């Protein structure tokens, strides 16, 4: 008897399969949040050099215009300021009159001023990842992607040859939750990158969610289940956008999309290991135990009791 025929005897697309697919779909939905998270946590707010203190800095915005040159769009330049205040730019009506051509400028030695907006509180504004340090933003994402590349081979081999699907998924939920929470509490940019790297390898084996669900699904339902998993990942991107605009502070956003994985970790202990993998790994007794549990959940306990290792 083939395994597909065996699944049909045990209920086909029964209660167990539906519950199992749903339990695996929720982590997949939240996984999209981590893969695309830095689009929000590393958003670049409007900013400019912190103005030099001047004697008459109480005159509204005048210090900004006399200490910081304007760019081509008549906005304060982000990375330069005048060495000396350019008072001649002020006319008698008290307005700014452009930029002092040829005036000496310098980098932002006193830091930057960030404007409130969509990206008011990000890792960019917290650690001043602008101007000379702006490349560190891409470095952080590159480190995360390097972790995914590492995990694609490492965890894949462990899942197929050593620990199976369930154990790796359980570990991945815990690792991603812990690494995500650590990222939210990171005191420095280096610690932030380290935590992101530690959480990066986990999305790759979680791609085995599709494999894990397919191994318990009848052939005729696999296309539908695969489509559902794809829609879950897509929906997760919309969910992330909604959460991000509701929680503009990057630390809270990072924490909110990470905490659910501790819940996924807890209920993943109830998962049933793939019977296919158990048989291939030389554990037919454990495969039989799992199949009987599936039969019981699907209301086919009598069929499950009839099973033997010979079948």
The tally of domains found in the chain comes to: 2
88 and 187: one domain? no
Asked if the structure places residue 214 within a domain, the reply is yes
Tokens 């395994």 -> residue: 3
177 and 285: one domain? yes
Q: From CA 302, how far away is CA 285, in angstroms rounded?
A: 18
Tokens 């790796």 -> residue: 168
The residue range of the domain holding 56 is 48-114
Tokens 């008011």 -> residue: 120
Asked if the structure places residue 309 within a domain, the reply is no
Higher pLDDT, 73 or 266: 266
254 and 179: one domain? yes
Asked if the structure places residue 37 within a domain, the reply is yes
**pTM beyond 0.85:** no
224 and 181: one domain? yes
Query: For 191-215, what is the mean pLDDT?
Result: 79
Q: Which two tokens stand for residue 167?
A: 């154990």
The phi, psi pair for 16, rounded to 5°, reads -60, -50
Residue positions counted in the chain:
311
93 and 166: one domain? no
206 and 233: one domain? yes
195 and 278: one domain? yes
Q: Tens digits of per-residue pLDDT, 10-62?
A: 777 888 888 888 888 888 888 888 888 999 999 888 888 887 766 554 455 55
Q: Tens digits of per-residue pLDDT, 117-167?
A: 777 789 998 999 998 888 999 999 999 999 888 887 787 777 777 777 888
Residues 6 or more apart whose CB falls under 8 angstroms from that of 128 comprise: 111, 112
DSSP state at residue 107: -
Q: Contact 172/206 with Cβ under 8 angstroms?
A: yes
89 and 213: one domain? no
Asked if the structure places residue 34 within a domain, the reply is yes
249 and 169: one domain? yes
pLDDT range class, residue 211, cuts 50, 70, 90: confident
DSSP state at residue 90: B
* Continuous H helices in the chain: 3-9, 15-35, 38-41, 62-67, 123-127, 135-158, 164-184, 189-199, 203-206, 208-214, 222-246, 250-258, 260-267, 275-280, 284-297, 301-305
DSSP 24-52: HHHHHHHHHHHHSTHHHHT----EEEPPP
72 and 86: one domain? yes
Q: Tens digits of per-residue pLDDT, 240-262?
A: 999 998 888 999 999 999 999 99
70 and 143: one domain? no
Asked if the structure places residue 72 within a domain, the reply is yes
269 and 139: one domain? yes
């Amino acid at each position: 008897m083939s395994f597909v025929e065996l699944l049909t005897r045990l209920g086909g697309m029964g209660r167990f399969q539906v519950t199992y697919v749903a339990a695996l779909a929720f982590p997949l939905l939240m996984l999209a949040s981590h893969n695309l998270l830095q689009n929000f946590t590393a958003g670049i707010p409007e900013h400019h050099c912190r103005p030099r203190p001047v004697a008459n800095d109480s005159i509204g915005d005048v210090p900004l215009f006399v200490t910081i040159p304007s760019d081509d769009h008549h906005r304060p330049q982000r990375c330069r300021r005048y060495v000396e205040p350019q008072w001649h730019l002020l006319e008698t009506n008290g307005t700014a009159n452009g930029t002092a051509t040829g005036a000496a400028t310098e980098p932002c030695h006193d830091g930057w001023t960030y404007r409130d907006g969509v990206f008011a509180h990000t890792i960019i504004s917290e650690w001043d990842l602008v101007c000379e340090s702006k490349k560190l933003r891409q470095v952080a994402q590159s480190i995360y992607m390097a972790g995914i590349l590492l995990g694609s081979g490492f965890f894949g081999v462990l899942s197929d040859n050593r620990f199976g699907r369930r154990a790796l998924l359980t570990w991945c939920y815990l690792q991603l939750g812990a690494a995500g929470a650590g990222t939210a509490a990171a005191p420095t940019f280096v610690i932030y990158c380290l935590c992101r790297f530690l959480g990066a390898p986990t999305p790759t084996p979680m791609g085995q969610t599709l494999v894990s669900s397919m191994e318990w699904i009848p052939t005729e339902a696999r296309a539908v289940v695969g489509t559902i998993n794809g829609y879950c990942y897509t929906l997760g991107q919309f969910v992330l956008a909604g959460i991000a605009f509701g929680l503009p502070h990057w630390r809270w956003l990072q924490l909110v999309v990470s905490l659910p994985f501790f819940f996924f970790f807890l209920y993943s202990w109830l998962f049933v290991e793939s019977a296919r993998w158990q048989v291939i790994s030389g554990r037919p007794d454990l495969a039989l135990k799992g199949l009987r549990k599936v039969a019981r959940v699907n209301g086919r306990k009598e069929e499950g009791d009839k099973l033997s290792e010979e079948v």
